[in-house]
Amino acid sequence: MKISDILKNNKVNVSFEVFPPKEWSKIETTKAVVCEMAKSSPAFMSVTYGAAGTTSGFTTEIAAEIKNNGITPLSHLTCLTSSKNKIDTVLNELEENGIENILALRGDIPQGFVFPDEQHFHYAYELVNTIREHGDFCIGGACYPEIHPESANRVEDFQHLKEKVDCGVDFLTTQMFFDNEIFYRFRENCAIKGIDVPLIAGIMPITNANQIKRSVELSGCAFPKKFMKILERFGENPKAMKQAGIIYATEQIIDLMANGQNNIHIYTMNKPDVAESIMKGLSEIINE
């Protein structure tokens, strides 16, 4: 099923995310994670793509496993370090496996990276164009409520986002954020700029103190005072931090829903227990 159709259902749609293993020998472990997560009945499940593209087959394999578990898969695809031929091969592979949904991404620029030749992509909008030309896929894109770290300013970031959406993006998933007010301002600005595809709000449950450094490095996102207080008090106690992180994420989702945000993506990071706890915390709220 196409995610664009799922998002039209006027219900609350909560999706999950898994990442593929780095080695083929661990593929069955990741498949078991998918199987566990599927039991919480997410609206769809996404599977990330290794930035270098060397494990692209793993992403397709996991996407196929998601489908086998009766859940709609969303396959991430980055283009920065891939040739156009390689992208064509991956698109054929996805088609052969009946994967209809792609999150079209550029990927982060590795240190010292030099663009090889004109056969390579520079930005995600070029990948969106290529996917549209290739076949009948539902295409998602990434967006950044706290602006993309490379962007000089918000005006430029929105301009490029609008251009990307106009190339044929069906929905946008946000980078993680921990302060809902930032998301509400972003959502309003999207409406003002005529970016009118569905927005999926990305929520990352922080379940251990080490994750914070990584999250800031990846996204540059701000942590509100309320969150920092939780970290100060419970950061040294793994069990307490995990519980507090799950509750913080659950409260964020409830506030989003109360403010009319029906599409929510949880960065579940291969943790079925975290996904299950959040869904249990929302059991009545989701079906209200």
Among 36, 95, 108, 255, binds ligand FAD (CB under 6 A): 108
Supply the minimum distance, in Å, between the C-beta of residue 32 and ligand FAD. Answer: 21
Supply the minimum distance, in Å, between the C-beta of residue 118 and ligand FAD. Answer: 15
Q: Which of 106, 96, 98 is nearest to 73 (CA)?
A: 98
List the beta bridge partners of residue 152.
none
Supply the minimum distance, in Å, between the C-beta of residue 265 and ligand FAD. Answer: 7
Looking at the Cβ atoms of 160 and 243, the one nearer to ligand FAD is 160
Which amino acid is it at 197?
A: V
List the Cα angle 130/20/43 in 5-degree steps: 75
Task: Convert 173-199 to b/e letters by CB count within 10 Å (16 or more is b).
Answer: bbbbbbbbebbbebbeebeeeebebbb
Binding mask 160-199 for ligand FAD (x = CB under 6 A): x---x--------x-x------------------------
Looking at the Cβ atoms of 194 and 238, the one nearer to ligand FAD is 194
CA-to-CA separations, 255 to 57, 84, 184, 228, in angstroms, rounded? 38, 42, 11, 19
Binding mask 223-262 for ligand FAD (x = CB under 6 A): ----------------------------------------
Q: Kindly identify the residues of this chain, within the stretch 113-152, that bind ligand FAD according to CB under 6 A.
A: 123-125, 142, 148, 150-151
CA-to-CA distance for 140 and 128, rounded, in angstroms? 9
17 part of the active site:
yes
Neighbours of 92 (CB within 10 A): 12
Q: Kindly identify the residues of this chain, within the stretch 43-82, that bind ligand FAD according to CB under 6 A.
A: 48-49, 51, 76, 78
Among 31, 106, 242, 271, binds ligand FAD (CB under 6 A): 106
Q: Are 140 and 170 in contact (CB under 8 A)?
A: yes
Supply the minimum distance, in Å, between the C-beta of residue 236 and ligand FAD. Answer: 30
- Residue 159 corresponds to which tokens in the numbers above? 């301009």
Q: Are 77 and 104 in contact (CB under 8 A)?
A: yes
Contact positions vs ligand FAD (CB under 6 A): 48-49, 51, 76, 78, 103, 105-108, 123-125, 142, 148, 150-151, 157, 160, 164, 173, 175, 202
